[in-house]
Structure formats: C-alpha cells, structure tokens
Structure 1
Amino acid sequence: MITLTTAKQVAYVTLANESKRNALNFEMFKQLDGVIKQIKKQRDLRAVILQAQGPDFCTGLDVKSVISKPTDVCKLLFKPLPGNQNLAQRVVLGWQSLSIPVIALLQGRCWGGGMQIALGADIRIASEDASLAIMESRWGLCPDMGASLVLPGILSADNYLQLAMSAEPVTAQQALNLGLVSYVDNDLQHRAAHIIDTFSGRSPDAISAIKRLTQSAYRQPHRRLLAKETFSQIKLLMCKNTRIAIKNASRKDDSFDEYQPRRRW
C-alpha cells in the first residue's frame, strides 16, 4: 500500500490504497516507517517526492480498522521512553530527519493523519481542488503524530487553533494564504521537478545544513512535547466524550452539530 521507487536521484514514495481513499491503516504506518529508513541509507538521493494515487492524497486514519484492533492502537502509541517518537510520530517527523528536501504533492482530500504526514514534508504543493483539514477533533481526539513540533514554524497559533478545534477543511487557496502549503499548482509533478532542478544546482551539503539550521530555529524542544502529545491522546481515548464523538462522526449524515460534549476543555 506504500510504494518506493527511485529515478534520477529522486525517491518517489506513493500512498497506494486508492480503494480506501488512501486512509491510513496500521500496515501503512509500518510501511511508511520502513520506507523512511530505507531512504536514509541511500546516500545518492537528492530529494523525496511524497505523493498518492487516485483523486485524494489521504482522507486520514482508517479509524474503524485501527480501533477494531486495540493491539494496533497500542503499537501506534507505544514508546520505550515518554520523549521518544512512537510509530505514529515517526511517519511525520521521519521526513524531517532526512538530510534531503521532501516535497509533498497534495490533491483532493488531505485530512487528519494525511495532513499531519504532509506537514512533515519541507515543501507542500497542492492542486486547486485540494481540501486540507486537521481532522482529529472530529473524532474527539487531538493531533498526536508529531505535528505539534512542526506547526509553530508553519502557522500562527490562532490559525492553528481554529483549524485543529473546528476540524473544518480549507481550500487550497485558503491553505496558501495561511502558509499551510507552499504552492497551488494543478501540474504538481512539473512544479516539483522545477524545485528539484533548482536544488540540484546547489551543494547537497549546503542544502542539508540549511534544513538542519531551519529546523533548529523553528522547532520547539521536542521530547517534552512528544510526551505530552501521546499522553493527551491516551487520555482522550479513554474518555466517554471520545466514544460519543467517534459514534457521531461515523454517522452517514456527518453532522457535527449532534456532538454535545459533557465537558468543555
């Protein structure tokens, strides 16, 4: 469901679960983690293209698939130490750990877990029909895939709160205005190729150094924040309000108004 190919010193990582609109199941998390490790070993690569088959980049977590197997939830959230990255966080922050630029090509829906994976990329290019959403609160959950580390360098606090609390999608143009994406372009591959051509004319050591320095400047101290993300999500998973939210979000009418939390945070 995740494929890795290389051509002309570029790695192409493709989400290929089109029948499920590229919704993320546990196997896809494992495969993404493995692909990132593979790319790290290939020293001759100059860039990564993160893309998806079909009309949607990723519609988020396949909630029913993952929650139906409690052991998978535990495997996603488990970490030997609180400040370490768990599997769910590695598929976002793993792109940041690469010394080469990562470019995400986003079409259609880019929601929830898919949005967080895209946030791990260095550059995001969205097609005009793209729809982007930080969707976790719809299910009574909070973003817990490491996005809290990268978002302060992308969005202002008020814009992030609005997106995360409302779980409402924004258009590609709105995302561009917010700084959530770098470009809006219907020819995603052409735009990405142009960017890679520009970078290829620069020293790979300089590109790597610039990426590391930028991360140091924009990223918060990560171990405490990663621990808080995971702790908050575990707490929410045990909360009655979360069960209510999941039930309501699963209804065919997809109405947010029916969710009446017992307590406001």
Structure 2
Amino acid sequence: MINFNVHQHIAYVTLSRPDKQNALTLMMFQSLDNIIKEIRKNRQIRAVIIQGAGGHFCAGLDVQSVMKHPMQIVKLLFKYLPGNQNLVQRVVLGWRTLPVPVYAEIKGNCLGGGLHIALGADFRIALPNSQFAIMESRWGLCPDMGTSIVVPGYLRQDQALKLAFEAQRVDAKAAFQAGLLTAIDDDPSTFIMQHIDSLSHHSPDALAAIKLLYNQAFHAPSRTLLWRETWYQLRLLASKNTRIAMKNGAKDSEFKAYNNRAKWQ
C-alpha cells in the first residue's frame, strides 16, 4: 500500500491505494514510519517526494475501517510517555527530522490525514484542481497528527480554526492564499524536479543545517502539545457525541456526492 524506491538519489514515497483514493490504514501508517527511518539512515538520498497513486493524493484516514477494529486505534495513538510522538504524529513530524528537502506532490483530494502528512513536508506543490480539508471535526474528532506544532508556522489562528471547525473542502487557490501550499502548478512533478536540481550545487550539510535551524525557529517542538492532541482525541473517542458525529458523517450526502464526482475527474 506504500511504494518506496530511490532513483538518482531521490526517494519516492507513493501512497498506493488508488481504489480508495489512498485512504490511510494502520498498515500504511506503519509503513510510512519505517520508511522515514530508512531514509534517515541512507546518506545517499538528497530529496524526498511524497505522492499518491491514481488521481488523488490521499482522502485521509479510512475511519470506518479503523473504527471496526478498536485495537488499531490503540496502535495508532499509543505512546510510552505523554509527550512522546505516537504513530500518527511520527508520520507527520518525521519528515521534518530528515536532513534533506521533502516535497508533497499533490493532486485531487488531499483531505484529513492526507493533508496532515503533506503539512509535514517542507514544500507542497499542487495541481490547480486539488481539494484540501481538515476533516476531523466531521467525525466528532480533533486534529491529532502533530500539526498543532507545524500549522502555526503556516496559518493565522483564525484561518486554522475556520478550516478545523468547518471541515469544508477548499480549492488550491484558497489553500495557497491561506498558507497551506508552497505553489500551484500545472505540472507539480516538473516543478519539484527543477527545484531539486536548483539545490544540487548547494552543500547538503548547509541545507540540513538550514532546515534544522528554521524548523526549530518556526515550529518549536512541544511535548505538551503532543500530549494534548492525544488526550483530547482519546476523550472524544469515548464521547457519545463522537459516535453520533461518526454516524452522521457516514451519511453525509454532500460528501458522498463529492466522491461520486471525483471518479470523473
């Protein structure tokens, strides 16, 4: 479900579940976690590109599938210490620990967990017809994948609240204006390759140091925030209102209609 290969010093990480718009499963989270560790050990890699197979980047967590197996929720959210990163947080924040530039190549749907993963990348390049949403409130949940640390570096607080409260899709232009995207381009792949090429004459040590310095300046790590994300989510999962929201979310006719349209894009 996750394809990983390295070609000419570039690591390609492909979410590969196109029949489900690359919706995330526990196995995919585990694979991403292992891939991040593998890339970190490989000193030959000079850049990473995260992409989606088929017509979409990622439609987010496969909520209904995961909720059918409660132990999967435990594996996604478990952490040894409150301030540690759990699995869902590592697959977002892990990209920021890599000493090379990480790009998210976005097309179609980039929703929920898919958007969180993209926000973990250093650069997000999207096709003009891409769609974006922070989806958790639709299911009665709150964002819990570590983006409470990175979002303040991209968005004003009111913009972040609006997106998270409403769980409504926005187009690439609105996402760029809000600060979610680095660029919109008709050919994201070529855009990314040209940017990687433009950095090829720079010292990789300098790039690694700059990335580390700026991540610390713009996205200071917070063990308290990481714990609050998980704690709030656990409380919500135990709430009656969450069960109602999940049932209503599954019946959301607007969402179903959008999925039907997406097949024709």
Query: TM-score if structure 2 supplies the norm length?
Result: 0.95
For the 8 Å contact 1:126–1:172, the answer to whether it is kept is yes
- What pairs with 1:222-233 in structure 2 (closer than 5 Å)? 222-233=222-233
Take 1:60 and 1:219, find their aligned partners in 2: how far apart are those partners? Answer: 23
1:2 aligns with 2:2: yes
Does the CA contact (< 8 Å) of 1:176 and 1:182 recur in 2? yes
Tell me which residue corresponds to 1:153.
153
**Which secondary structure does the structure 2 equivalent of 1:200 belong to?**
coil
- Distance in 2 between the 1:200 and 1:183 partners? 20
The residue correspondences of 1:102-113 to structure 2 (distance < 5 A) are 102-113=102-113
Deviations 1:80-121 (A, max 9, x none): 000000001010011011010100011000000000000000
Q: How does 1:185-204 map to 2 (within 5 A)?
A: 185-204=185-204
Change (3 A) 1:252 1:236: closer
Structure 1 residues 4-42: Cα deviation after superposition (integer angstroms, max 9, x where no partner): 111111000000001111000111111111111111111
Q: Provide, for residues 132-157 of structure 1, a one-character-per-residue CA deviation record: whole Å limited to 9, x for no partner.
A: 11111000000000011111111111
> For residues 201 and 112 of structure 2, what CA distance do their matches in structure 1 show?
35
For 1:205, the equivalent position in structure 2 comes to 205
Letter in 1 for 2:57: F
Aligned twin of 2:143: 143
Aligned length: 255
2:253 partner SS: coil
2:153 alignment partner AA: G
Task: List gaps (5 residues or longer) in structure 2.
Answer: 256-265
Distance 1:148 1:51 in 2: 23
After TM superposition, give the deviation of residue 223 of structure 1 in Å.
Answer: 0.6
Q: What amino acid is aligned across from residue 193 of structure 1 in structure 2?
A: M
Q: For residue 201 of structure 1, what is the amino acid of its counterpart?
A: H
Tell me, yes or no, if structure 1 residue 39 matches structure 2 residue 39: yes
**Cα distance, 1:254 vs. partner?**
3.9
Task: State how far apart, in whole Å, the 2-side matches of 1:163 and 1:218 are.
Answer: 21
2:82 paired with 1:82? yes
The letter of the residue matching 2:247 is K
Larger deviation: 218-227 or 125-134? 218-227
- The 5-angstrom pairing of residues 17-32 of structure 1 reads 17-32=17-32
1:148-169, Cα deviation, whole Å (9 max, x unpaired): 1111111111110000111011
- In structure 2, what residue type is equivalent to 1:37? K
* Offset from partner CA, 1:176-197 (integer Å, 9 cap, x none): 1111000101211100001101
> For residue 258 of structure 2, what is the aligned residue in structure 1?
none
Task: Name 1:259's counterpart in structure 2.
Answer: none
**Percentage identity across aligned positions?**
52
Normalising by the residue count of structure 1, what TM-score does the alignment of the two structures yield?
A: 0.95
8 A Cα contact 1:104 1:125, kept in partner:
yes
Cα distance in 1, alignment partners of residues 220 and 152 from structure 2: 8
* Alpha-carbon distance in structure 2 between the residues aligned to 1:85 and 1:128: 33
- Partner in structure 2 of residue 237 of structure 1: 237
Distance 1:239 1:181 in 2: 34
Residue pair 1:150, 1:219 contacting (<8 A) in 2 also: yes
Distance 2:181 2:221 in 1: 24
Q: Aligned letter for 2:79? A: K
Q: In 2, are the aligned partners of 1:248 and 1:254 still within 8 Å (CA)?
A: no
What's the RMSD between the two structures over aligned residues? 0.9
Counterpart of 2:262?
A: none
> How many Å separate the matches in 2 of 1:254 and 1:232?
27
Pairing 1:40-119 to 2, within 5 Å after superposition: 40-119=40-119
The alpha-carbon deviation at position 252 of structure 1 amounts to 5.2
